[in-house]
Amino acid sequence: MNWTEEFRPTKISEIIGQHKFKEDAENWVRRGKMPNLLLYGIPGTGKTTAAYVMAREFLQDDLATNFLEINASQDRKLETVRETIYNFLTTRSVSGQKLKFVLLDEIEGMTRDAQRALKRTMERATNTVFIITCNDAYGVEDALKSRCANYVFEALPTSVQVERLLKIIYEKGYDSGHDSPEEILSKIVENCNGDFRRAINEVQACIFSGAKVEDFINATTKHYESSLASLLAGNSEGMTYLDGLIRKGQSVKDICNKLLQSVMNMDLNTSTKFMCIATIGEMEWRSRSVSPKVLIAWFCSQIMKHERK
Ligand SMILES: Nc1ncnc2c1ncn2[C@@H]1O[C@H](COP(=O)(O)OP(=O)(O)OP(=O)(O)O)[C@@H](O)[C@H]1O
Ligand SMILES: [Mg+2]
């Protein structure tokens, strides 16, 4: 089984990070009522998990009947959404449990019209908690935002991720194969930009493939380091590896992150290190408007040009 699902928190206390949300959530449970929620932030930080945890806390055994999830994999046209929610809200729950939950997961995929149509539905539905999740709050209608308590789910700090990963590894009966696994796990976590889902998947893939976590990390950064070294020596061969990553679908953001880690590992003089870091930063910034292939070529030319000055 996928470890991300196996270790998906089922209680508020099991959610890591997100302190403000957890503190308020405990209070809502204590008081027996809660507001509509908008949870936004980068992937893999616990938004969908938090929605399920809250629904479970309030509904207990009635989760199956009183909880409706509308997610990105479903048809989210205006009429369908309105009809689905209407049917759910007007059906009396078998258990007699009054409160209902509607989760609108990854709402940025829903049309603006469909979002706007929801505002009346939200107002009219008494005894219903709406939980909206998304990666970017800009994708959400202001009218919906103002009908919810807003929480940003932040990138999870490295230390708490490492602590939880160690627990998962030991619970599954694996040995990290290393004297100081924290150090190695930190490197994996740093590669994942605060996305804990990805960190768990990377560790599971690595352990299942039989590779030692350490080898796995070294294998990835080693290629980046040799590409950079070759570019710094004015050799365009260094571009082949980076270009290949783009062709395989790796994101510019990920590449920037690994390049940065490699620069920090390499033995370079201060001005070269500074130039590399500045160029990596500029590449990430430019990635909003420039296509990945062109951007990689630009990056390589900047690094090569510098050395020839
Ligand atoms: N804060 C967290 N505490 C504990 N586990 C977490 C946390 N965030 C993510 N996870 C792990 O990652 C998995 C995915 O989390 P979840 O689906 O809640 O992410 P998400 O924020 O909804 O991401 P997306 O924006 O991609 O939908 C969970 O099953 C869990 O294993
Ligand atoms: Mg989600």
Residues 167-209: pLDDT tens digits? 998 888 776 556 667 888 888 898 888 899 999 998 888 877 7
Residue 180 maps to a domain: yes
**Whether residue 106 is found in the same domain as residue 180:** no
Q: How far is the CA of 186 from the centre of ligand 1 (A)?
A: 18
CA–centroid distance, 148 to ligand 2, in Å, is 18
Chain-centroid distance, C-alpha 225? 26
Cβ atoms of 210 and 204 within 8 Å: the answer is: no
- 64 and 115, same structural domain? yes
> Is 292 found in the same domain as 233?
yes
Q: Are residues 11 and 24 in the same domain?
A: yes
Mean pLDDT of 199-224: 76
Same domain as 171, residue 185: yes
Q: What's the pLDDT at 214?
A: 62
Choose one of 138, 153, 168: the last residue of a domain. 153
Query: 152 forms bridges with which residues in the sheet?
Result: 40
CB distance 135 to ligand 1 below 6 Å: yes
Based on the fold, state whether residues 56 and 171 are members of the same structural domain: no
Interval between CA 133 and ligand 2 midpoint (Å): 7
Specify burial of residue 104 (Cβ count, 10 A radius: 0-12, 13-18, 19+).
buried
Residue 29 counted as domain residue: yes
Residue 114 neighbours by CB under 8 Å, 6+ apart: 76, 77, 78, 81, 82
Tokens describing residue 220: 């990835």
pLDDT tens digits, one per residue of 74-117: 777 778 888 888 888 888 766 666 789 999 999 988 888 888 88
Give residue 199 CA to ligand 2 midpoint distance, Å: 15
pLDDT of 213 higher than 70: no
Q: Are 39 and 21 in contact (CB under 8 A)?
A: yes
- Give burial (CB, 10 Å; 0-12/13-18/19+) of 73: exposed
Residue nearest (by alpha carbon) to ligand 1 atom 28: 8
The gap between the terminal CA atoms of the chain, to the nearest Å, is 54
At 149, the amino acid letter reads A
Each residue's pLDDT tens digit, 279-309: 999 999 999 899 999 999 999 999 998 755 5
Same domain, 8 and 148: yes
Q: What is the pLDDT of residue 21?
A: 97
Give the whole-angstrom CA distance, residue 156 versus residue 269. Answer: 32
Best probe residue, ligand 1, of 1, 3, 7, 8 (max atoms within 8 Å of C-beta): 8
Q: Do residues 48 and 105 lie in contact, with contact meaning Cβ atoms separated by under 8 Å?
A: yes
Q: What are the angstrom distances between the C-alpha of 270 and each of 68, 224, 266, 275, 277?
A: 56, 19, 11, 9, 11
Residue nearest to ligand 1 atom 24, measured at CA: 43
> Nearest residue CA, atom 6 of ligand 1?
46
CA nearest ligand 1 atom 27, residue: 43
Q: Same structural domain for residues 54 and 148?
A: yes
Q: What is the whole-number distance in angstroms between the Cα of residue 199 and the centre of ligand 1?
A: 10
Our answer on whether the CB atom of 197 is closer than 6 Å to any ligand 1 atom is yes
Residue 156 alpha carbon, nearest atom of ligand 1:
1
Q: What is the pLDDT of residue 128?
A: 92
Q: Give the pLDDT of residue 55.
A: 96
Do 51 and 182 share a structural domain?
Answer: no
Q: Which of 177, 210, 243 is the last residue of a domain?
A: 210
Residue length, the chain?
309
172 & 266 share domain: no
Long-range (24+ apart) CB contacts under 8 A made by 80-85 are 81/110, 81/114, 81/117, 81/118, 82/114, 82/117, 82/121, 85/118, 85/121
Mutation to probe ligand 1, out of 22, 49, 202 (largest number of atoms < 8 A from CB): 49
Residue numbers of the domain that contains 196? 157-210
pLDDT at 157: 93
61 pLDDT band, cuts 50/70/90, is confident
In the chain, how many domains are there? 3
Same-domain check for residues 149 and 178: no
The DSSP secondary-structure symbol of 195 reads -
- CA nearest 262: which of 301, 295, 232? 232
Residue 293 lies in a domain: yes
Cα gap 110→29, rounded to integer Å:
30
In this structure, is residue 216 part of a structural domain? Answer: no
Q: What is the pTM of this model?
A: 0.76
Q: Is the CB of 40 under 6 A from ligand 1?
A: no
- Ligand 1 neighbourhood includes 155 CB (under 6 angstroms): no
Q: Which CATH number covers residue 108?
A: 3.40.50.300
Q: What is the pLDDT of residues 245-255, one digit of tens each?
A: 898 888 898 89
Let me know whether 175 and 246 are in one domain: no
- 22, part of any domain: yes
Residue whose Cα lies nearest atom 10 of ligand 1: it is 46
Question: What number is the average pLDDT over the span 117-145?
Answer: 90
Among the listed residues 148, 162, 158, the one whose alpha carbon sits nearest the alpha carbon of residue 21: 148
What is the chain's Cα-based Rg? 23
